[in-house]
C-alpha cells in the first residue's frame, strides 16, 4: 500500500481542511497524488509524528528544518522528498509556493489557511502540554487535524473514582476519547477512537474562513407516525445521542439524562382530545461509548376515533433544559 500524508488524506476524505486546499500541486514542482482508498492503517499514523529524513535533514539550515517540522501534518512524502533534493537557494521559493497553493482566497492579503494552521498549533501548545510540546501530543494533533470539537466533556477523576482522567471530544456523530493513563497530564488517544476517526462526518469538519461561525448541533429529533391497527398508531421520536447532553452518574459512571415528552392532540374543530406528559430515562454504559454514534427512539401510543388530528409535541432534555417543539398531522 502506497503511503500518503495522513493530514492530506483526511483532508480530502474526512473534511478536515478543505480538500481543494490540500490537493493542489506546487507550481514548478512534481504533482501530489492522493489515494482515496487508504484505510485504517493510515489512521493509526495519527499516533506518530512524521520522522526526519536522515542526515540530509540534519545538515539543513535551521529555518529549513523548522519548516519541515512545522508542516509535518500537511506535507506529502513526495513534496518532502522534493524539498530535501531542492538546492538550498531554491527552498525559499518552494516554501512560498507551498503556502500559496493552499491559499483559499489569493485576492486577500492574508493566507487564511496558513494563519489558521499556525493558530491551531499555538492553541495546542498552550492548552495541551503534558510530556511533549502541545502540538505533538495526541490531543494537539487531533485539534490541528479536526479543529475545535463541537463539545468537550472532561472527567478529571475518570468515569468513576480511582480511574484515570478522561476527555471526550465530539465531532459530529462520533466521540473521540483521550485517557491520561499515568495521571500526569499526558492524554493518549484511546485505540477505538483512532479507528473511529475515518467515519467522522465530512460536513461537520470543514475548516471555515475566519469570521464564519461554526454551526454547533442543537438538541433535535425526527418525528414520524406509524399506524398499527384501526384506531391505533404510534408517534416515533428518533433522537441522536450526539445532540443530547448527557450527565455522568458518579456511582455507575454511565452517561444519563431524562427526556420529558409532552403530547397535545387536537381534532379538526380545534378541540383537545388528548394531553399527556411522560418521562423517559436515557443511559449509555461507560463501556459502550460507541453507542453515542447512534440514535434512541421514544414511542408514544395513540388510541383515537377515526379522523384527522394534529399532534403538538415537545421534547425537553432535563439535563440542560433544552426544548424542541414539532407538529405532525395524523390520520386515523
- Identify the pLDDT of residue 242: 74
Which residue in 220, 332, 327 sits closest to 263, CA to CA? 327
> pLDDT digits over 139-174, tens only?
999 999 888 888 888 887 776 656 888 899 988 767
State the CB neighbour count (10 A cutoff) for residue 239. Answer: 21
Reported as a pLDDT band with limits 50, 70 and 90, residue 130 is low
Kindly provide the b/e burial profile for residues 148-174, where b requires at least 16 CB atoms within 10 angstroms of the residue's own CB.
ebbeebebeebbeeeeebbbbbbbbbb
To which residue does cell 399527556 refer? Answer: 276
Q: Are 319 and 246 in contact (CB under 8 A)?
A: yes
Average pLDDT over residues 117-143: 87
Mean pLDDT (the chain) is: 77
pLDDT for position 203 = 32
> Could you tell me where the beta strands, DSSP code E, fall in 38-165?
151-155
Q: Cell numbers 453507542 correspond to what residue?
A: 291
- DSSP string spanning 243-297? GS--EE-TTT--EEEEEEEEEEEEETTS-EEEEEEEEEEEEE-TT-GGGGGSEEE
| Sequence-distant (≥ 6) Cβ neighbours of residue 123 within 8 angstroms | 143
Kindly report the pTM of this predicted structure.
0.49
CB 187 within 8 A of CB 35: no
What digits encode the pLDDT tens for the residues 22-77? Answer: 333 333 333 333 233 333 333 444 344 344 456 778 889 999 999 999 999 889 88
Q: Estimate the crossing angle of helix 62-70 against helix 77-85, to 10 degrees.
A: 170
Q: How many CB atoms lie within 10 A of CB 48?
A: 9
Residue 161, pLDDT score: 59
Rounded to the nearest 10 degrees, the angle between the axes of helix 112-127 and helix 138-146 is 150
Average confidence (pLDDT) over 78-93: 91
268-280 tens-digit pLDDT? 999 999 999 999 9
Going along the chain from its start, the domains and CATH numbers come out as: 6-205 (no CATH), 222-331 (2.60.40.10)
Amino acid at each position: 500500500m502506497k503511503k500518503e500524508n495522513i493530514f492530506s488524506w483526511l483532508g480530502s476524505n474526512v473534511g478536515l481542511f478543505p480538500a481543494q486546499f490540500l490537493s493542489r500541486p506546487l507550481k514548478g514542482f512534481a504533482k501530489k497524488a492522493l489515494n482515496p482508498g487508504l484505510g485504517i492503517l493510515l489512521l493509526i499514523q495519527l499516533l506518530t509524528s512524521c520522522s526526519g529524513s536522515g542526515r540530509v535533514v540534519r545538515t539543513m539550515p535551521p529555518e529549513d528544518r523548522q519548516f519541515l517540522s512545522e508542516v509535518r501534518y500537511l506535507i506529502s512524502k513526495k513534496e518532502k522528498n522534493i524539498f530535501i533534493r531542492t538546492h538550498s537557494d531554491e527552498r525559499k521559493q518552494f516554501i512560498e509556493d507551498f503556502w500559496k497553493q493552499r491559499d483559499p482566497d489569493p485576492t486577500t492579503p492574508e493566507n487564511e489557511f496558513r494563519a489558521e494552521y499556525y493558530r491551531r498549533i499555538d492553541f495546542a501548545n498552550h492548552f495541551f502540554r503534558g510530556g511533549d510540546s502541545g502540538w505533538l501530543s495526541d490531543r494537539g494533533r487531533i485539534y490541528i487535524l479536526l479543529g475545535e470539537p463541537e463539545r468537550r466533556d472532561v472527567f478529571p477523576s475518570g468515569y468513576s473514582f480511582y480511574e484515570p482522567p478522561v476527555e471526550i471530544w465530539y465531532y459530529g456523530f462520533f466521540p473521540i476519547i483521550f485517557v491520561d493513563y499515568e495521571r500526569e497530564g499526558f492524554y493518549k488517544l484511546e485505540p477505538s477512537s483512532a479507528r473511529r476517526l475515518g467515519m467522522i462526518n465530512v460536513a461537520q469538519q470543514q475548516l471555515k474562513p475566519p469570521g464564519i461561525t461554526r454551526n454547533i448541533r442543537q438538541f433535535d429529533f425526527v418525528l414520524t407516525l406509524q399506524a398499527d391497527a384501526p384506531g391505533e398508531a404510534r408517534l416515533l421520536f428518533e433522537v441522536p445521542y450526539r445532540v443530547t447532553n448527557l450527565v455522568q452518574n458518579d456511582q455507575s459512571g454511565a452517561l444519563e439524562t431524562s427526556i420529558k415528552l409532552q403530547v397535545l392532540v387536537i381534532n379538526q374543530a380545534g378541540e383537545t382530545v388528548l394531553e399527556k406528559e411522560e418521562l423517559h430515562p436515557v443511559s449509555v454504559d461507560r463501556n459502550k461509548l460507541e453507542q453515542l454514534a447512534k440514535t434512541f427512539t421514544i414511542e408514544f401510543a395513540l388510541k383515537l376515533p377515526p379522523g384527522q388530528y394534529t399532534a403538538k409535541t415537545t421534547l425537553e432534555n432535563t439535563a440542560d433544559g433544552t426544548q424542541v417543539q414539532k407538529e405532525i398531522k395524523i390520520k386515523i
